[in-house]
Every structure is written in structure tokens, then in C-alpha cells.
Amino acid sequence: MMQNDRKALFLDLDGTLLTDDKQIPEGNREAIYRMLEQGHSVIIATGRPLVSAVLQAEKLGLTSRGCYIIAFNGGTLYDSFEKKVIYRLTIPLEIVTKVFAEANKRGIHIQTYRDDKVVVEPAGDDDIVRQYCSKIIVEHEVIPDIRMLDEEPVKMLIIDMNDPAPLEEFRQWVASWGDDVLDTFFSNDQYVEIVSKGLNKGNALLQMAEILGVDRENTISAGDAGNDLQMIEAAGLGCAMSNATDEIKAAAGYITERNNNECGVAEIIDRFILA
């Protein structure tokens, strides 16, 4: 394969590559293996912490040469074959401290991350973090004060399982003073992500393509939810799953006929990479 013929496929996990019960359809797996054999690259792009994304990649068998991970919605880029971080963008600890203090004042669940654990203060040691961690198969750690973190984190997450209104109010509070240093967005109705300015899957796609030496027009992305929007817009071809939100479908250059439970990713690979 000529270098300028190589393609890079950027895949969201939940609702895209994975079925509703968090499994990879065999058709998706086989299509990915075929494209890797031809010298293309596949990049898992997820809001999950790195440790969870790595475990998922290993479970899916996506650890050979050409396999990469975008974790924390773009905060960390990882080479799954070499097993090493190749880029990280963090949030200054004084900003993390300020955001945690306000969340605690409002009674909103907030958490942050090390590479291998979810981190909460005592107020966040509750059913919410346990449910979250059990879903993505990662442990959580309680520290008395977030200022005791030994390294700057990549992102924070606020959660309300019942009502998005407090999350939107908190998001607006962050924007009122931190709009030049932080970005905030809903990754689903219960989660608001808080990350460094400019950190998103779209910018991570462009950065990863540059690292891989793949032209932008040879990048293809697939997603279904709000935190995939920039990735859909940034790719040479942005694909929306048939189960995607209307916002994602409107931004996409292609909408799959099959949904995430029906090997929609294999449809993209067969039509635009292996054809």
C-alpha cells in the first residue's frame, strides 16, 4: 500500500463500535482485522479514562500494530501496540480545586481521574461513583482533599442521574469565569465533561492523523452522541450511526443503514476503506 493510500478510522465505543450490552459484534471485529491487515489504522476515541479504554481495547483484540486510543475525549493519546502514552493535556490543579469546591457547595457529584483510577473526595464516595466504575470496569480512590493529587488530571466529570438542569447550571457557572481555559459539554444526559480549552475528539483526530502521517482526507470517523460532534466534523468523512442523535446525523457526511447492534461499523469499513 502506498503511504498516501493509508486510512485512519476513528471509532467511538458506546453506541458505535459496541452493542447496547457493551459487546463488539463479530462483523465489526472481522472488518477491523481486515483493514489492519491492509495497513490502515484504527483508533478508539472515547471519553472513558485511559485504564478503561486500554482494558476495552485488549478485550476487543485491538492491540496490534496500527491500533491506538484517544482517551478522556482527547486528553490522552495512546499507542496500544507500544503500550505507551504519546500525548497528554491536563488541567491546572488550582482550577480543579476551584471546580470541586463549587460542586461540593451545590451538592453535585464530581470526580476526576488518574490514568488508572477515578478519584473523588469523601463527598463523592457514593452510589454514583460505584455505578460509574462498575460500568466501565475501573476502581475509584477517595482522597481527603483534591489538592492532594500528585499530578494534574486530564478531565473532571459531574454527574446527575435524575435531572440535567443542575448540570446545565453548573456548566454555565464554569463558562462564566473559565471560558478561556476550560471547555464543558454534555457527553450524555447525565454527564457533563470539564476539560482543558480546545480538548475534544476532533482536535485529537487531527493531532493523531499528523502523528500517523495520514492525510486528513483519509480520516474517517464514526459516532453517535454529542461528544463525537467535533470528531465527525474534523474527519475527511464523518459518519453517524443510524442510532445517533439528530445533531450528529446533521453534521455527518454519511449515515449508516445499520445501527450499533447490527455491525454499522463494518458497513463503514466495507464501503469506504476496503471497497
- CATH, residue 135: 3.30.1240.10
Dist. CA 108–CA 184, nearest whole Å: 15
Tally the domains of the chain: 2
**Pair (108, 234) in one structural domain:** no
**Pair (253, 233) in one structural domain:** yes
Q: Which three cell numbers stand for residue 11?
A: 471509532
**Pair (129, 208) in one structural domain:** no
Grid coordinates 502506498 are at which residue? 2
**Pair (161, 124) in one structural domain:** yes
Four-point Cα dihedral 80, 83, 84, 89, nearest 10 = 40
**Pair (97, 192) in one structural domain:** yes
Provide φ and ψ at 98, rounded to 5°. Answer: -65, -45
pLDDT at 156: 97
**Pair (30, 121) in one structural domain:** no
Range of the domain at 192: 93-196
pLDDT at 4: 66
Give me the CATH number covering residue 221: 3.40.50.1000
pLDDT at 137: 87
Domain end, chosen from 196, 211, 230, is at 196
Residue of 82, 23, 14, 18 whose CA lies nearest to 47: 14
pLDDT at 157: 97
Helix axes 93-106, 165-178, angle to 10 degrees: 140
Which H or E element spans position 176? helix 165-178
- The pTM assigned to this predicted structure is 0.88
Domain end, chosen from 178, 196, 214, is at 196
Domain end, chosen from 170, 196, 222, is at 196
**Pair (118, 59) in one structural domain:** no
Dist. CA 238–CA 129, nearest whole Å: 33
User: What string of pLDDT tens digits covers the 275 residues of the chain?
Assistant: 545 689 999 999 999 999 999 899 999 999 999 999 999 999 999 988 999 999 999 988 999 999 999 999 899 999 999 999 999 999 999 999 999 999 999 999 999 998 789 999 999 999 999 999 998 889 999 999 999 999 999 999 999 999 999 999 999 999 999 999 999 988 888 999 999 999 999 999 999 999 999 999 999 999 999 889 999 999 999 999 999 999 999 999 999 999 999 999 999 999 999 98
